[in-house]
Amino acid sequence: MQTITLDVKGMTCGHCKMAVNGALTDLDGVQKVDVNLETGKVSVEFDSSKVSLEQMKEAVEDQGYDVA
């Protein structure tokens, strides 16, 4: 299991937080997601043999947010 921190731009409220959290959690291989709304930091615990950083970025971007 690996942990990374994504820098997500554009999250403003609890709904944004839920959308990003849900999109990441839905990916196969993602174990744990922690969204900090104030800083935009999203820490993700994941299995790198199942899911790539690129897939995680896409999942967040599909919700309408930018990943730095």
Binding site for Cu ion (CB under 5 A): 12-13, 15-16
Beta carbon nearer to Cu ion, 38 or 54: 38
CB of 14 to Cu ion, least distance (A): 7
Nearer to Cu ion, 16 or 30 (CB): 16
What's the half-sphere exposure (Cβ side, CA atoms, 13 Å) at 1? 11
Minimum CB separation of residue 12 from Cu ion in Å reads 5
State how far the Cα of 20 lies from the Cα of 43, in Å rounded to an integer: 11
Distance CA 48, CA 11 (A): 25
